[in-house]
Structure 1
């Protein structure tokens, strides 16, 4: 069997890309998740964690040696230069982990899901791009309900992500997620049938 082509899946915080990715997985499609890769590269024993502790200070480590993500998030959102330092360290490691994950895919196409697909240079790993889109107010409502963080923090995350216009400009396909889960899953199934007809991500 030839190597599967790669679909990029992205969307802003609270857009519903995780629900979309999960349904593609339910349909038997291999999904490589950049958020999971980002967690893995800072596990205890990984070189990146030692570099983060050396740079930001050991207080960013919890008693069990795990990274204190909330404390790190607070530091990098207060200081753009620190965020850039962290991204320069982590993005190449995350991309390497994603490439390894996708290399093991057995489905007819595979998906790379990432909130920073465009910003982190991961777009070049894909042949086609699906953007999950939602009105900003709806994104905010969903993220507030899910993450239990302040609106200020969610707006700060939105600022670090590509603008809605930028994402849509890069999109080959757009799934507007402003209805219920049943409708969303039906749209995923429609796209899945279409993607099965493609070769190399192209009609």
Structure 2
């Protein structure tokens, strides 16, 4: 029996990870947060104290293991779900994810994960690179101001010191970097449905997608 793949792409802070996580629970699918994997590799590179600009230093990925359990990411058997959300990781993840070697290795891992499972996978190149044949594709976005506000409130909820204007500037900078990088830039797949969440609640978005999928399945 062929497995169902749901690809969700979009810029930082648009709510795609939250939507994907809740959607996976409703449909009883496996949730794969590819952005978390890039953050985890960034975290490991920082811990190894390697030169982040030197692509050749990232061969350690071959000896890195990932597993998603209850929407949490385990790297080398350790739960890194919180550690990958630090400002230091956020500041460097765009650079790390721009390396072709890093992208090729992680894309291959992600494709293997999705081979024999019903999955909801989110990221920035899922619909046209990682899962180009996914049955369902969505591109979730929101205004920069709205995304910054959400990130700011999330940081405060986590007890993390937060500066709204600084977050807005960082998101704008990351959008530009991710959309203009040489390898697998952030973009909407031609056959993906665009959803702007600026004036929508997460619940409304999840309901819309879930109902569409249940109608088809």
SS in structure 2 of the partner of residue 55 of structure 1: coil
SS in structure 2 of the partner of residue 159 of structure 1: helix
**Structure 2 residue 195 is matched with structure 1 residue 175:** yes
Q: Quick check: 2:127–2:192 contact (8 Å CA) kept in 1?
A: no
Deviation at 1:24, TM superposition (A): 1.5
Q: Quick check: 1:9–1:114 contact (8 Å CA) kept in 2?
A: yes
**Structure 2 residue 179 is matched with structure 1 residue 158:** no
Q: Quick check: 2:124–2:187 contact (8 Å CA) kept in 1?
A: no
CA RMSD of aligned residues (A): 3.6
SS in structure 2 of the partner of residue 161 of structure 1: helix
Deviation at 1:194, TM superposition (A): 3.6
Structure 2: where are the runs of 5+ without partners? Answer: 54-82, 156-161, 181-185
Aligned to 2:112, which of 100, 111, 118?
A: 100
TM (norm. structure 2) is 0.61
Closer, same or farther in 2 for the Cα pair 1:136/1:118, shift >3 Å? Answer: farther
Moved over 6 A (4+): 66-69
Q: Quick check: 1:116–1:161 contact (8 Å CA) kept in 2?
A: no
Closer, same or farther in 2 for the Cα pair 1:67/1:123, shift >3 Å? Answer: closer
Closer, same or farther in 2 for the Cα pair 1:182/1:124, shift >3 Å? Answer: closer
- Matched with 2:25 is 26
After superposition, give the CA deviation of every residue in 1:101-139 in whole Å (9 maximum; x if it has no partner).
11241x3xx3221134368x3353635421113233322
Q: Quick check: 1:118–1:162 contact (8 Å CA) kept in 2?
A: no
TM (norm. structure 1) is 0.65
Higher-Rg member (1/2) = 1
Superposed, which structure 2 residues align to 1:136-155 within 5 Å?
A: 136-147=144-155, 148=162, 150=166, 151-155=168-172
Closer, same or farther in 2 for the Cα pair 1:30/1:152, shift >3 Å? Answer: same
After superposition, give the CA deviation of every residue in 1:134-155 in whole Å (9 maximum; x if it has no partner).
2333223223333435222222
Query: 2-side partners of 1:113 and 1:103: how far apart?
Result: 15
Q: Quick check: 1:20–1:185 contact (8 Å CA) kept in 2?
A: yes
